[in-house]
Amino acid sequence: MTPSPLLAAPPSALVARLAPLHAAMTHWRHALHAHPELAHQEHATAALVARVLGEAGLAVTQGVGGTGVVATVHGREAGGASLGLRADMDALAVREAASRPHASCQPGVMHACGHDGHVAMLLGAACHLARTRAFAGTVQCVFQPAEEGAGGADAMIADGLFERFPMERVFSLHTWPDLPAGAFAVHDGPVMAACDAFTVTIQGRGAHAAQPQRAVDPVLVAGHLITATQSLISRGTDPFESAVVSITRVEAGQAFNVIPDTARLEGSMRCLSEGARERLRRDLARLVEQGAAAFGATASVSFRSVARVTANTPAEAALAARVAGEVVGPAQVARTLAPSMTAEDFGSFLAHRPGAYVWLGQGAGEDPPALHQPTFDFNDAVLGLGAAWWVGLVEAALPEGKG
């Protein structure tokens, strides 16, 4: 990977403080990358996390929301506020295509979204905070399972995360290949889209392909619905509001000469507000029912919630940006980037507590590997930046000497 010019700059004081942990963070990251685990199966990952945190002298709770881990760090000054720091742990069902010493040992599973780096950075920050404790109050380090569309955030919340481990504000950090390595991006408001998966089931009447007049063709209905769904965006959505509906799977029939009885469509819809989300659900259900009826068929749609909108609260976004500026310099902190229409379940945390979700650039060169691609690998050069941001965030949010 080509070095980023931003990483050639002299390290800030925050980054310099974390430098002694860089080798350990790299070791943890490579171990996690070599042994990835899918959602709700992060047993070895959770064991590594718990071991490192326990060796640092922290109180560790395992099994939160399944395979989640929470470590509590108390500052030198008792009382005060409480803060949550969250990293996701799960890998993806992707076969790694690159040859590297720490390549995945699990066929068809790899860390293609940087969660190995997220865990390593928060482990480094937690170890540093456990040693210095230069803050007033309490920090909860949350290692979340099953972020990749499998409900890990909701599982931890349902298991009493906020009641058992009090936190008044919560933050998270995600690698972002489209940003230069060493840059940060902090949004005001939406960062990532809400996402719903949907399945449309069409019931028609089958017949021989040579006698279509005897059929109520569900394939014809499916084709109509595929094109009609785009009117939900082009004619049903405010042009200044971001939303997207994608049909990604079509299934019908088993023979070339038989019109089937049924057809099925699958897809996703994404938007940047909960209001738009409810409207799209309602309008898609109506379009499916009425569109099928126009052909004499029946149809229904079912939804599966994948993620809420991930939207930063203003005060927490400002704090996150200020600390990022202390890590890499204010000029390297983007504040006006457009949100992404990809999804992230940290929005469930932000529905319960104010907080912010921050992007850390890891890209280099003109065409860095994208997230969820088989050639992706986390950029170890930014491990210290992420860990420094975590530490700086704690010390800024929970300063000593204020009691």
CB neighbours of 216 closer than 8 A, spacing ≥ 6?
204, 205, 295, 296, 297
Question: How far lies 353's CA from each of 138, 347, 400, in Å?
Answer: 16, 10, 23
* β-pair type (77-88, 136-144): parallel
118 assigned ligand-binding residue: no
Measured CA to CA, the distance from residue 265 to residue 169 in angstroms comes to 40
Cβ contact 40:93 at 8 Å: no
Measured CA to CA, the distance from residue 78 to residue 93 in angstroms comes to 44
* β-pair type (258-259, 207-208): antiparallel
111 assigned ligand-binding residue: no
Cβ contact 165:109 at 8 Å: no
115 assigned ligand-binding residue: yes
395 assigned ligand-binding residue: no
Sign of CA dihedral 219, 222, 226, 227: positive
35 assigned ligand-binding residue: no
- In this structure, the dihedral spanned by the alpha carbons of residues 172, 178, 184 and 186, taken in order and rounded to 10 degrees, is -60
Cβ contact 78:402 at 8 Å: no
Residues flagged as binding site: 113, 115, 148, 174, 372
Residues flagged as binding site for Mn(2+): 113, 115, 148, 174, 372
